[in-house]
């Protein structure tokens, strides 16, 4: 008998060794993950994976023995840094490989779990697994997140994000050289017509606006500062890909794997620098 699971590969783990990815996705020890792989228990796209094979974007089919070791508590890679805290909110620096909150198919570390382990009490508003979370960053995106500790802060922060009175600033590395070097991308985003996990610029999508400016140019890439006027899922990644300048390392949205390898990237180069709420909004 076995326990069969169908696990979507998070963007941050696409391209990782199978034993490392399985360890992170299921909270198993690296040795246990290697044992599952050695027993032929992991398949992707009809192919049985070995421990040194690389996982791709898509679904892993994993057969786990019924009698397996209890999964250890996941550790947050690099640690979750608490930059600010008062009675109402906390600001954390989220590393890559950490999700904002638990979700189906993800058993790795989360911001919610890390804060709970550190004894930080979060707002009780919202779904149980998302308490305190007023906005999210992708697993493969690093940077600053604001988390609500009180219910009144949760209400005000959720309203601020909904009404776009939040200044969201990112730094990103995009492939190639953008022309013009500053501009606005105003293109609606919705579910990709050929994928349940991706998004795309589509005619009947939700309004999505991204402002960008090139800070520095390199031989094959550009460092950008990006301001979001809206906050759609994968917005920066989708908009830059639509401009034919995908983020370096972002294999999901068409990045050149040669450049990613040269830069040592296994995920999109995207960092949230400022999730600040404006004092007033005209």
Tokens 């609606």 appear where? 188
Tokens 């200044």 appear where? 167
Most distant CA pair in the chain, distance: 62
* Active-site hit among 11, 19, 57, 138: 138
Give yes or no for a contact between 245 and 178, defined as CB atoms under 8 angstroms apart: yes
Give yes or no for a contact between 11 and 267, defined as CB atoms under 8 angstroms apart: yes
138 tagged catalytic: yes
Round to whole Å and give the CA distance between 147 and 153: 9
Give yes or no for a contact between 207 and 230, defined as CB atoms under 8 angstroms apart: yes
- Helices 18-26 & 30-38 angle (0-180, nearest 10): 120
Give yes or no for a contact between 249 and 265, defined as CB atoms under 8 angstroms apart: yes
Q: Which residues are catalytic?
A: 138
């Amino acid at each position: 008998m076995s326990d069969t699971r169908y696990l979507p590969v998070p963007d941050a783990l696409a391209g990782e060794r199978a034993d490392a990815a399985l360890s992170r996705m299921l909270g198993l020890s690296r040795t246990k993950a290697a044992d599952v792989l050695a027993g032929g228990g992991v398949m992707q796209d009809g192919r049985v994976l070995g421990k040194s094979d690389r996982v791709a974007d898509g679904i892993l089919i994993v057969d786990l023995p019924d009698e397996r070791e209890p999964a250890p508590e996941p550790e947050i890679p690099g640690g979750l840094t608490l930059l600010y805290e008062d009675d109402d909110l906390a600001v954390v620096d989220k590393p890559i490989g950490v999700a904002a909150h638990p979700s189906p198919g993800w058993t790795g570390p989360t911001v919610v779990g890390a804060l709970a382990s550190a004894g930080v009490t979060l707002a009780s508003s919202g779904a149980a697994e998302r308490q305190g979370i007023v906005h999210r960053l992708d697993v493969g995106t690093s940077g600053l997140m604001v988390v609500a500790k009180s219910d009144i802060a949760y209400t005000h922060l959720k309203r601020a994000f909904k009404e776009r009175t939040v200044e969201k600033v990112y730094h990103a590395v995009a492939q190639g050289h953008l022309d013009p070097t500053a501009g606005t991308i105003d293109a609606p985003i919705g579910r990709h017509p050929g994928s349940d996990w991706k998004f795309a610029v589509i005619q009947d999508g939700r309004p999505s606006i991204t402002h960008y400016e090139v800070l520095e140019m390199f031989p094959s890439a550009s460092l950008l500062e990006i301001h979001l006027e809206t906050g759609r899922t994968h917005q920066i990644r989708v908009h830059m890909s639509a401009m034919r300048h995908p983020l370096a390392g972002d294999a999901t949205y068409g990045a050149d794997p040669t450049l990613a390898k040269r830069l040592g990237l296994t995920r999109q180069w995207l960092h949230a620098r400022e999730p600040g709420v404006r004092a007033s909004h005209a």
